[in-house]
């Protein structure tokens, strides 16, 4: 895209699901009889992003990332959940080798389709500013010629503090926002993009969320893309970092009534059009 071309707020928003292989989706998302090997091809043409959970549990080879790249449309994006060996530890600042192994495993083969890397902490991981700063120092800014974007999925209430926000902003990492009551919902902007994991889908709704709720999430995504945070979302910094420039936005429907995730993502994409 030429540098002078204005990018609309809607064009900055990516919407997707976690993974693409899930048995119940073969009943209500994938066409009957679709070969399993074609599920990524199909999903990537109905969604605009996918968060890969498998990279959290296993190490993938460069050929896998290259295959994902080649099977998906040019403007598609993969978000990768980083290896649990880097984050499921008492001292995060000791994760250097695990971080390096993950980043150097071949993720650069995704090229322009490489989206944010999610560093998900255990729910029991308490905010320790010195340890977290040591961890953030280890996160590389590039892999090969690809710039890397990092987002922290913090899951303990102790992270709901101005000290955490200041540290995340210093290192220019985003913070996952979630609508789940199980984890702290931090709406404050800490990076140059927004990353939301929506986990409250309900089987009683055809699209997982009530129509009004999806309307509200569409409005929220547009506000995020313009650099703002809706007043309906509780914040710690009282809006001091609101309106700080346009941002890319990633919204993933994860868990809850997981069988409804593709329908929820599709319904949100339709509203954003």
> How confident is the model over 82-103, as pLDDT tens digits?
999 999 999 999 999 999 999 9
Q: What pLDDT score does 108 carry?
A: 96
Domain ranges, ordered by start, for the chain: 10-272
Domain at 10-272: CATH architecture: Alpha-Beta Barrel (3.20)
Write down the mean pLDDT value for the chain: 93
Each residue's pLDDT tens digit, 204-261: 999 999 999 999 999 999 999 998 888 888 888 866 666 568 899 999 999 889 999 9
Contact 171, 184 (CB under 8 A): no
Q: What is the pTM of this model?
A: 0.94
Q: What is the mean pLDDT of residues 189-198?
A: 96
């Amino acid at each position: 895209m030429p540098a002078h071309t204005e990018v609309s707020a809607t064009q900055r928003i990516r919407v997707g699901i976690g993974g693409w292989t899930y048995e119940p989706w073969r009943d209500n998302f994938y066409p009957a009889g679709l070969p399993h090997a074609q599920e990524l091809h199909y999903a990537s043409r109905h969604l605009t992003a996918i968060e890969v959970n498998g990279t959290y549990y296993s190490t993938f080879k460069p050929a896998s990332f290259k295959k994902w790249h080649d099977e998906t449309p040019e403007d598609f994006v993969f978000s990768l959940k980083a290896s649990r060996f880097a984050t499921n530890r008492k001292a995060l600042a000791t994760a250097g080798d695990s971080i390096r192994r993950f980043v150097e495993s071949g993720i650069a083969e995704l090229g322009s389709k490489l989206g944010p890397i999610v560093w998900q902490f255990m729910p029991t991981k308490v905010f320790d500013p010195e340890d977290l700063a040591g961890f953030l120092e280890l996160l590389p800014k590039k892999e090969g010629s690809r710039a890397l974007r990092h987002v922290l999925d913090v899951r303990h209430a102790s992270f709901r503090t101005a000290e955490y926000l200041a540290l995340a902003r210093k290192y220019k990492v985003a913070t996952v926002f979630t609508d789940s009551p199980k984890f702290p919902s931090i709406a404050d902007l800490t990076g140059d993009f927004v990353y939301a994991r929506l986990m409250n889908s309900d089987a009683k709704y055809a699209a997982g969320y009530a129509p009004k709720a999806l309307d509200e999430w569409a409005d929220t995504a547009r506000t995020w893309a313009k650099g703002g945070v809706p007043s309906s979302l509780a914040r710690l910094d009282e809006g001091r970092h609101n309106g700080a420039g346009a941002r890319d936005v990633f919204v993933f429907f994860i868990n809850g009534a997981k069988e409804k995730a593709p329908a929820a993502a599709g319904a949100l994409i339709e509203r954003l059009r």
